[in-house]
Amino acid sequence: MKKKAVPKVQSKIGQYINDNPDAQLRDLLDQEELLESKQNIKFFGEFVTKSPERFWEMLEIINLRPKGNEEVIPNKYPFLVSEIIGSREDQIINYFFDQKGPEEFEFLNMLFKTIDRDYIDNTLAGYVAKILKALIEKRGLCLWKYILNPQKESQYILKDLIKLLDVHQIAEIIYNLIRLDVIREEGQEVYINQRLELLSRIIDYLQSKSYNSVIVENVSYILQNIITVTTDDDERAQFINTILSSSLKYDSIFISKSSSLVKILIIILEYIQRDIQTGQNKIFQNYSLIQNVSNYLTDLLNLDLNLTPFLTSYGVNQEPLGQFKLQLIQLYLKALKMNDPQIIPYFQHQNVCYSMMQLILKHEFNNAIQNLFVEVIELVMKNDSYVEIQEAYKAGNLMGFFTYLNQQEKYQVGTIKKQITKGFQGMANKLSFLLYEDFQDESWTAYLEKHQQIFLNENQYLLGQNPNYIANEEQVEALMQSIQLTKSSNILNQPQEMEQNQNQNQQQQQQQQQLQQQQQQQQQQQQQQLQQQQQPQQQQQQQPQQQQQQPQQQQQLILQQTPQIQEQEYVQQQIIIPLQEMKVQEPKTETIGSQDSFKISSSQKFGEIDNFIQDQEEIQNQNDQMNQFSQLEDQPRIISAKIQEVLTSNEYVNPDIADSVIFAIKKQTRSEGNSKSGELKIDPLDNRRRRQTISYSGPKPKSPKFPKRNSMDKKNQIFCPLQQIQSGNKNK
């Protein structure tokens, strides 16, 4: 029996259009279900494309400019129209380009009249941008053909767009026109020359409006995205070549102080380096702009950005460093990594290093510039290909910079109650330890000796092993052999025991096979005896004797082998039972002398716990297991006594030691599986000393005296500690 066809349920929009074929456009836009489904939008497209008048009325909703006596259109109508066209409904988008004759471009002309004005608000620009983005994605090549048409209305479209570049939505339209992300056929005209010309025009506009930060940021958005988002390598190379050969100059960066422009140069250097490494050579190495910026990098780093100070979390008004200067240092670092001879000589390396020093002193708690400075110094000073730059850094008194940073004591910062060290001292210690062999000077040697303990503490690795160091196989084997585990060595010996068990099983199987072979031989002999019944009686008498001797020999062999089999089964049981116990009670006394004791003894500050560990090691060395378990039962009492001894000791100074002791001992007792490990006395633990805020009432250290400063060369700047003190006093 065939099922009856279920009639399709028509949407409310479709039903409304069928019931009201002559309905007004605004009445249809008032329907709440209009944007609920793609089917409703399709019905709307069929409705407005039935006549040019309806389509024209729809465009007037976007382009309407209210006049004195004209009714203002509600805001929801332009929004709905932009959402419908922006959904890329084919029937509506194709209707823009399917007109023929005198009215071929009338609808596009009507649409672009929306931007034919001196000012456009962000809301209306957003509506137009959504519509044009859909047109570009669906019919981008046709739209470029319309823009290049010699008719009068088309000639001013690009000019109107560039004129409104202070609106981000208009910049989005230009970006989509230049990128032109559409499906292309082989050999099809993609208007690459016209797109590159548009790119040059917006760069010229940026150069003339470099004082307008909004225009600079919008154009930078276009440049950065067409480089990074474009998937065609050939087009990306042409875009980069156009930017490098454009009118963009150093002064636009100097005036605008835009970090986005500097970011574009960094991206271009990355693609140039990639192009050189792959051997494609698609990008012309026109470094005039980058060379110009490199030559004046020091001036850019010394610019006053006039940023508004902000209140830090520690209660100090601090002027922001700004992304502009951080991006400049990033550009310098990228150029150093490339090490291109066409760029490196244009930097004044000594002055750049000096400018970075000044920024670190001014922004002592800024981790970003400190990390960049560490990366720059480590790259240059530990690479033989930067010998000239190394000498420039040394001439800038890099050694004196480190000694100056590390000579100041703790001081009061903002609202922090406890005195702290300078924010850059961690960076200074790290670089000082890294460059301890790079300076040959008595003052440097004295500085290293003075801070030797700090360097050792800050560069000490856990268990003495550097996680970044890749050791060879011999060192790994030696390290593994050096690990000694008491009692738990049985776990390491388990593979050997398993191998022995396997060997014994193989021997048993071989013996069983021999017995089977003997039985088969016996049966064969019996058959032969039956066949030889006609032989003399002497032979018949010898046969029973042989038959009696053979079972006796077999019984003797079986009796000899059964004890071995029993022993092997007993050994297997002795191996399996401890393994099961270890899974349930893992580990008991083994970990006291192996892992936990090693963790406690690695920190030599806890001297009071060493006696307790020695007591446990003595217990482990005893062979009598019964005595061992009896002594472990007294463990909670010993632990409580040791904690009490630590808490009441006169040598106990640091309040954090008690917490560490308690944590280590509790962890140790839990790992031993002792059921009485939770019976520790809590009273002495709760009454222990706690950490308190440390206050310094003593006088602040006096500023060190330095010899008078000599005249400083204007070209190459040298770091002078006295100059820093004088500038600091002026700031105060």
> Do 424 and 364 touch, CB atoms closer than 8 A?
yes
CB–CB of 367/326 below 8 Å?
no
Decide if 554 is inside a domain.
Answer: no
**8 Å CB contact between 280 and 238:** no
Bridge partners for 420 per DSSP: 411
* Parent domain of 665: 590-621+629-686
Q: Which residues contact 382 (CB under 8 A, 6 or more apart)?
A: 434
pLDDT in tens, 412-445: 787 888 877 778 888 888 898 889 888 888 889 8
| pLDDT score of 113 | 92
* Alpha carbons 291 and 284: distance in angstroms, whole number: 15
- Give yes or no for a contact between 22 and 50, defined as CB atoms under 8 angstroms apart: no
Under the banding of pLDDT at 50, 70 and 90, the label for residue 323 is: very high
**Is a pLDDT exceeding 90 seen at residue 465?**
no
Per-residue H/E/C for 530-570: HHCCCCCHHHHHHHHHHHHHHHHHHHHHHHHHHHHHHHHHH
Q: At what angle do helices 398-405 and 387-395 cross, to 10 degrees?
A: 50
Return the higher-pLDDT residue of 670 and 169: 169
How far apart CA 187 and CA 191 sit, in angstroms, is: 12
pLDDT at res. 150: 85
Q: For residue 226, what are the CA distances in angstroms to 125, 169, 338, 666?
A: 21, 16, 23, 61
Q: How many CB atoms lie within 10 A of CB 79?
A: 17
- Band of residue 388 on the pLDDT scale cut at 50, 70, 90: very high
Domain final residue pick, 163, 190, 217: 190
Do the beta carbons of residue 591 and residue 667 sit within 8 Å?
Answer: no
Mean pLDDT, to the nearest integer, of 691-711?
A: 41
| Predicted confidence (pLDDT) per residue in 539-565, tens digit | 444 544 554 555 555 555 444 554 454
23, 34 contact by CB (below 8 A):
no
Question: At which of 190, 221, 251 does a domain end?
Answer: 190
What is the residue whose two structure tokens read 């140069």?
265
Q: Is residue 675 part of a domain?
A: yes
**Residue 28 near residue 34 (C-beta atoms within 8 A):** yes
Whether 635 is covered by a domain: the verdict is yes
Q: What is the CATH number of the domain that holds 97?
A: 1.25.10
Q: b/e string for 280-291 if b means 16 or more Cβ within 10 A?
A: eeebeeebebbe
Domain limit, last residue, from 190, 208, 231: 190
pLDDT of the residue at 441: 86
Helix (H) or strand (E) holding 317: strand 317-318
| Percentage of residues of the chain with pLDDT beyond 70 | 64
Q: Are 379 and 390 in contact (CB under 8 A)?
A: no
Alpha-carbon gap, residue 284 to 272, rounded angstroms: 9
pLDDT digits (tens, 9 = 90+) for 17-59: 888 878 888 888 888 888 888 888 898 999 999 989 999 999 9
Pick 302 or 713 by higher pLDDT: 302
- pTM of the predicted model as reported, rounded to 2 decimal places: 0.64
β-sheet bridge partners, residue 317:
311
Residue 94 lies in a domain: yes
Q: Any bridge partners for residue 311, and if so which?
A: 317
Radius of gyration of the chain (CA): 44
- Max CA distance (Å), the chain: 148
Which stretch of 409-413, 427-431, 496-500 has the lowest confidence by average pLDDT? Answer: 496-500
How many domains, the chain? 2
pLDDT in tens, 263-275: 999 999 999 999 9
* H or E element in which residue 318 lies: strand 317-318
Angle between helices 656-671 and 595-602 (to 10 degrees): 170
For 205-230, the pLDDT digits (tens) are: 999 999 999 999 999 999 999 999 99
Judged against a pLDDT cut of 60, whether residue 631 lies above it is answered with: no
Separation of alpha carbons 633 and 673, rounded Å: 11
Judge residue 202's burial from the number of C-beta atoms within 10 Å of its C-beta, 0-12 exposed, 13-18 middle, 19 or more buried. buried
Question: Which residue has tokens 């000579």?
Answer: 407
> Tokens 């050189």 map to which residue?
276
Residue 247 lies in a domain: no
Of the pLDDT bands very low, low, confident and very high (cuts 50, 70, 90), residue 321 is: very high
Asked, for residue 301, whether it belongs to a domain, the answer is no
- Reading the block at residue 346, the tokens are 């244009």
Output the pLDDT for position 257.
94
**Residue-wise DSSP of 389-456:** HHHHHHHTTHHHHHHHHTS---B--TT-SS-B--TTHHHHHHHHHHTTTS---HHHHHHHHHTHHHHH
Nearest to 377 by CA among 364, 363, 389: 389
Q: How far apart are CA 218 and CA 270, in angstroms?
A: 22
The DSSP secondary structure of 675-724, one letter per residue, reads: TTTT----HHHHTS---------SPPPPPPP-PPPPPPPSSS----HHHH
Q: Which residues of 564-601 are buried (b: 16+ CB within 10 A; e: fewer)?
A: eeeebeeeeeeeeeeeeebeeeebbbbbbbbbbbeebe
Angle at 388 between CA 386 and CA 393, to 5 degrees: 90
Question: Are the beta carbons of 672 and 588 closer than 8 angstroms?
Answer: yes
Q: Is residue 123, in this structure, part of any structural domain at all? A: yes
Q: How far does Cα 114 stand from its chain's mean position?
A: 45
Class of residue 40 by CB neighbours under 10 A (exposed 0-12, middle 13-18, buried 19+) = buried
Q: What does the DSSP assignment read for 467-523? A: TT----HHHHHHHHHH---SSTHHHHHHHHHHHHHHHHHHHHHHHHHHHHHHHHHHH
User: Is 81 part of a structural domain of the chain?
Assistant: yes
* Tens-place pLDDT, residues 58-68: 999 887 655 44
Q: Which amino acid is at 503?
A: N
- Which distant-in-sequence residues (6+ apart) come within 8 Å of 670 by Cβ? 677
